[in-house]
Amino acid sequence: MGLRERISADTKEAMKAKETARLSTLRLISAAIKDREIAARGEGGDENGLSDADLTAILSKMVKQRQESAKAYEEGGRLELAEREQDEIKVIQSYLPRQLTDEEARAAIDKVITDLGAASIRDMGRVMAELRARHAGQMDFGAVGPIIKDRLMA
């Protein structure tokens, strides 16, 4: 079962179980997917719809947006709204691949650097592109950037 079918089935389950918070988040996910499909059609994109990799990218972006919102709500003293954002993050993350631990991420970075023969900071873009291809949705690329930079400058 593909990611899209899983989301659809879970939406129906949440409706039957009357899980309003989960249902709301699943509807947001479906709306984001539909928006992206419409945009892809307008750009002359693939008629077969979005791939699971595209869906993973959409979900990752949604998680990042909610993390930023939760942080802003916490700073503003709106803890109930921050908590709601955190609940949405949990639902969205359940559809993403498992995140790599720090050790696994460092090992993946070292392997990519070795495989590409990257030797200087000029290779950082190639290393990031290869990591994105191999580990999409499994690591925070904003957090691994400084690690890659350190490895390439050493």
Per-residue pLDDT of the chain (154 residues; tens, 9 = 90+): 788 899 999 999 999 999 999 999 999 999 999 999 888 887 766 556 788 878 888 998 899 899 999 999 999 999 999 999 999 999 999 998 888 888 998 999 999 999 988 888 898 899 999 988 888 778 878 788 888 988 888 7
Instruction: Specify whether the backbone of 137 is left (phi greater than 0), alpha (psi in -120 to 50) or beta.
Output: left
Residues 8 and 68 in one domain: yes
Longest dimension (CA), the chain: 56
- Count structural domains, the chain: 2
Structural domain containing residue 25 = 3-93
> What b/e readout covers 38-69, taking b as 16+ CB neighbours within 10 angstroms?
eeeeeeeeeeeebeeebbbbbbbebbeebeeb
Q: What is the CATH number of the domain that holds 121?
A: 1.10.10.410
Q: Which of 72, 93, 114 is the last residue of a domain?
A: 93
Give residue 93's identity as a one-letter amino acid code. Answer: Q
Residues 119 and 71 in one domain: no
